[in-house]
Amino acid sequence: MFARRISLMTLLLCGLLLAACRKDCVVDFPETAHAVALEASSVVIPEGGSATVLFRVEEGDFRFNYDVSSPGCQISLRLRDGGQPEQFRLAGISARGQGLYEATLSDSGTSGAYSQEACLALSFRSAAGMDIRICSGYISVDCGDPQFGPAVDTGLPVIYINTADGRDVDSRSVEQQAVLKIKGAGEYEDMPQASCNIRGRGNITWKWSKKPYQVEFRDMVPMLGMPAARRWVLLANFIDRTLMRNLVSMKVASLTSLEWTPRCVPVEVVLNGSHVGNYLLIEKVEVAPSRVEVTPEGGFLLESDFHFDNEVQWVDPHGISTHMAGIPFAVKYPKPEDLDPDDLAYIKKYIYDTAETIYSDSFADPVSGYAAWIDVDSFIDYWIVFELLSNQELGNPGSVFYHKSAGGKLVAGPCWDFDWGMLRIATSVQKRLGIVNRMALWYERLFRDPVFEEKVRNRYAELLPALETIPDYIDGCEALLKESARLNFAMWNPAEDRWQHQGMLINGDENYSFGEAVASLRRVYLDRLELLKDNL
């Protein structure tokens, strides 16, 4: 849309307010009004390259010096503060006829990434001797890839994704064809363009404005130093003001003896040419090489989740105790089409027999009790991670995983999805909330065995030196994420989560600044470390 013509009087008044151009760049002009109108709202300049943008000058018969190599050139770039940009420059202008011109903007090569707003300023002198500058509207100038979008410079890798037709990713069940590439920000290798499919994912998280995604490649692809795989997840962390709850949780889990913890890297995501904020690229919980590894035949990956949205799932109908009634289980592996009915009957019975043993009178027998059915060490480490981080979804349950190989015991893990309530303010010592998962699932019964309780206490003491390094890790994450957080929260407001949580904030820090939220997270973690020392 072209700017309205401006009256001569308006131009004269503007001339009093705007900085004057140099006297030697002024030429005569007719006693008519003029306006400069850009025909684009944004432009992306390739690194070390150039891009063009069209603009129009009204009146059509107006003549001015647009030779940028001339000291008398009357057109220039201006930033909002009135200065001239350093990262890019006006390299040339050519006439296209009838008041239409093409400006060439070139990257100066002084910065790998930038995003600035600039206008074109036309300077001249009125017949009355007034020095006047007419400015166009502002255009967003970014350095990046014209095909994929702007470069984003927060110090984090940038993942660029373009869907085949440019449509938003609006379904969790229907995949869209896409292409993806990665700029490694100097910390990781760049990844060239590759074909993939993308879809939405999540349950409650899918309902929020910032969407999480799953990306699937045709072949095994390594990403940002993580082992090659076909499927990857981009967590939005929408409700997390610290942007690090999942990052810190996976770090804590990795310090234990759990067989596998998803590796993850914080990134920026540019989707269909638009920067959509900070995400966590994380390995998907699945049976695959370098991920959950179980025997191909007779192996299982199971999930307990109150959303109950898996294809193969059931609820214990026996209600062995009030703590077991209604607990959902689902088979994540094998896939439904590969799951033999006899295998399904077997794993259902195994879960039932495990629960029956745990709630039997002889549950603590070292030979025939619960230790014959579950991998006790994994159950202890799994509980410590949830408890230390005050994730009460162990008892709800939500995203609670187990796996089992043929002939083996039920193993706890991996950990997943710690953005909801992890280290929230309400679980600090000051709130006098102590152990939060002693009654969760089968742990209510397991903690009645003094031997199990002593093992938990001893294991926590063994892990404590490593767990005490996490505050320093949090500090490092804060420095790493600071600029990313600034851009992310200019786009997204995590306090929107209250509209899907009975009007209450989920983590309690959604209205904090990033720095305040990180400080709170660190403080609550230290509180939890001390609390477990005193209460186990």
pLDDT digits (tens, 9 = 90+) for 310-320: 899 998 755 55
Least confident residue range of 3-17, 187-201, 301-315: 3-17
pLDDT at 396: 83
CB 524 within 8 A of CB 427: yes
Position 129 confidence tier, pLDDT thresholds 50, 70, 90: confident
pLDDT at 204: 85
What is the residue whose two structure tokens read 């500058």?
Answer: 133
The mean pLDDT value for 124-136 works out to 81
pLDDT digits (tens, 9 = 90+) for 388-447: 999 999 988 889 999 999 999 999 999 999 999 899 888 766 656 789 999 988 999 999
What is the residue whose two structure tokens read 């059931």?
Answer: 314
The mean pLDDT value for 361-385 works out to 97
* pTM for the whole structure: 0.83
Q: What is the mean pLDDT of the chain?
A: 89
pLDDT at 18: 36
pLDDT at 327: 79
Could you give the C-alpha distances from 298 to 33, 185, 340, 345, in angstroms and in order?
81, 43, 10, 12
Instruction: Report the distance separating Cα 232 and Cα 215, nearest Å.
Output: 5
Instruction: Report the distance separating Cα 444 and Cα 359, nearest Å.
Output: 10
Backbone CA torsion sign across 299, 260, 374, 394? negative
With 0-12 / 13-18 / 19 or more C-beta atoms within 10 angstroms meaning exposed / middle / buried, residue 356 is middle
CB contact burial 96-133 (16+ within 10 A = b; e otherwise) = eeebebebbbbbeeeebbbbbebbbbbbbbbeeeebbb
Please confirm whether the linkage preceding 150 is cis (ω < 30° from 0): no
Among the listed residues 376, 156, 374, 389, the one whose alpha carbon sits nearest the alpha carbon of residue 255? 389
pLDDT digits (tens, 9 = 90+) for 230-278: 999 999 999 999 999 999 999 999 999 999 999 999 999 999 999 999 9
Radius of gyration of the chain (CA): 30
Instruction: Report the distance separating Cα 30 and Cα 32, nearest Å.
Output: 6
Instruction: Report the distance separating Cα 267 and Cα 517, nearest Å.
Output: 20
CATH number 3.40.920.10 given to 8-145: no
Domain locations along the chain: 8-145, 149-283, 300-535
Q: Which amino acid is at 395?
A: G
Position 70 confidence tier, pLDDT thresholds 50, 70, 90: very high
Position 188 confidence tier, pLDDT thresholds 50, 70, 90: very high
pLDDT at 2: 32
The mean pLDDT value for 448-462 works out to 98
- For residues 6 and 347, the model is more confident at 347
Q: Is the pLDDT of residue 1 over 70?
A: no
Name, in order, each residue with C-beta under 8 angstroms of 395's C-beta and a sequence gap of 6 or more.
437, 439, 440, 441
Indicate the SS3 state at residue 179: strand
Could you give the C-alpha distances from 343 to 17, 285, 296, 314, in angstroms and in order?
80, 21, 12, 14
Instruction: Report the distance separating Cα 356 and Cα 24, nearest Å.
Output: 93
Name, in order, each residue with C-beta under 8 angstroms of 486's C-beta and a sequence gap of 6 or more.
514
Among the listed residues 170, 230, 166, the one whose alpha carbon sits nearest the alpha carbon of residue 196? 230
CB 108 within 8 A of CB 89: yes
pLDDT digits (tens, 9 = 90+) for 359-372: 999 999 999 999 99
The mean pLDDT value for 6-30 works out to 36
